[in-house]
Amino acid sequence: MHSNAADADICAPQSASPAARLFAGAPDSVGFRKLRKRLVRQAAEAISRYAMARDGERWLVCLSGGKDSYTLLAVLLDLQAQGALPVELVACNLDQGQPGFPKHVLPDWLDALGVKRRIETRDTYSIVTEKIPEGRTYCSLCSRLRRAILYRVAREEGCGAIVLGHHADDALETFFLNMFHGGKLAALPPKLLNDDGDLTVLRPLILSAEADIEKFAAAMDFPIIPCTLCGSQEGAQRGQIKAMLGEWEAANPGRKQVMAAALANANPSHLLDPALFDFARLSRNS
């Protein structure tokens, strides 16, 4: 039995917490319980390691309708129900005006769980498709427009943090994109302060593997909404990086996990950036 919105209404009392209602119809297998525990443990570790949570704060949890954001909300609700996350969660979906977007799916699903929500409708789709020539990737402009809207919504909702569903594979792909195409070593920060200094951007799933998230989302039978904007551009540079990493992983299982761990294990004295290590003061005792 899976935990879609209808199942949650049937299997859990109306007075139950959102987490209880969400997991009421979850699989009861040992494998799923281990997977759920691993994702929750990794998120708790990320939140602690990078000092993400402040008691009593409100978080705007961004839901796109994809596997990552559904899993993000589920894990945060699980931590909240355990008393391990002393923040208030507000789920937010940005309806970007994409043709055929099923507007009812996320509001219905969130309402069935009793999760506080904000649905924001802004037609960024028309702007992006008008400004970006056919065949070019939409991601950069789409991301900038979306970020500005989410910052505004977070302030209106009294939230101190915007929470995103990026995972370890996203960080690794970004690292290689920046290295190959930008000539710099940079991934996705687990915690980022915006330019105005009033909001943090958090990524609690940054230690979790995409493969685990995909298995979890499938087991939970989330009502996935495919992205018809960036998802339609198969030639995007990120897709090429993802394919490259997939080939490496297939040839050497576990390689992606090792590389992702390396992002948290930098040795500045063995890189070439004098801004990170003071080579000028490194001298012999003579």
Model pLDDT for residues 204-215, shown as the tens digit of each residue:
999 999 999 999
The SS3 assignment for 10 reads: helix
CA-CA distance, 127 to 149, in Å (whole number)?
A: 14
Residue 191 and residue 202 in contact, taking contact as beta carbons nearer than 8 Å: yes
Asked whether residue 277 is assigned to any structural domain, the reply reads yes
What CATH number does the domain containing 256 carry? 3.40.50.620
| Token pair for 189 | 């920060």
- Is 286 domain-assigned? no
Q: Does 65 map to a domain?
A: yes
pLDDT exceeds cutoff 50 at 149? yes
In a domain? residue 91: yes
Checking if the pLDDT of 37 tops 60, the result is yes
The tally of domains found in the chain comes to 1
Residue range 187-241, pLDDT digits in tens: 999 999 999 999 999 999 999 999 999 999 999 999 999 876 554 444 478 889 9
pTM above 0.85, yes or no: yes
Strand partners, 58: 88
| pLDDT score for 233 | 47
Q: What is the DSSP string of 56-88?
A: T-EEEEE--SSHHHHHHHHHHHHHHHTT---SE
> Domain for residue 262, yes or no?
yes
Per-residue model confidence as pLDDT tens digits over 127-143: 666 666 666 665 666 67
Strand partners, 91: 61, 117
Range of the domain at 22: 5-281
The answer to the question of residue 25 being in a domain is yes
pLDDT of amino acid 123: 74
Is 101 inside a domain boundary? yes
Task: Give CA–CA dist 168/219, Å, rounded.
Answer: 20
The rounded distance, in Å, linking the Cα atoms of 137 and 114 is 37
Separation between Cα atoms, residue 241 and residue 249, nearest integer Å: 12
- CA within 13 Å, CB half, 111: 7
115 CB neighbour count, 10 Å cutoff: 19
Given this model, what pLDDT does residue 2 score? 42
Q: 97 versus 218: which is more confidently predicted?
A: 218
Angle, CA 176 vertex, CA 213 and CA 231 arms, to 5°: 50
233-204-83-70 Cα dihedral, nearest 10 degrees: 10
Task: Find, among 230, 255, 235, 236, the residue nearest to 245 by Cα.
Answer: 255
pLDDT category at 265 given cuts 50, 70, 90 is very high
Distances (CA, A) of 187 to 23, 159, 168, 178, 260: 33, 25, 10, 7, 10
> In the structure, what pLDDT confidence band is assigned to residue 32 with cuts at 50, 70 and 90?
very high
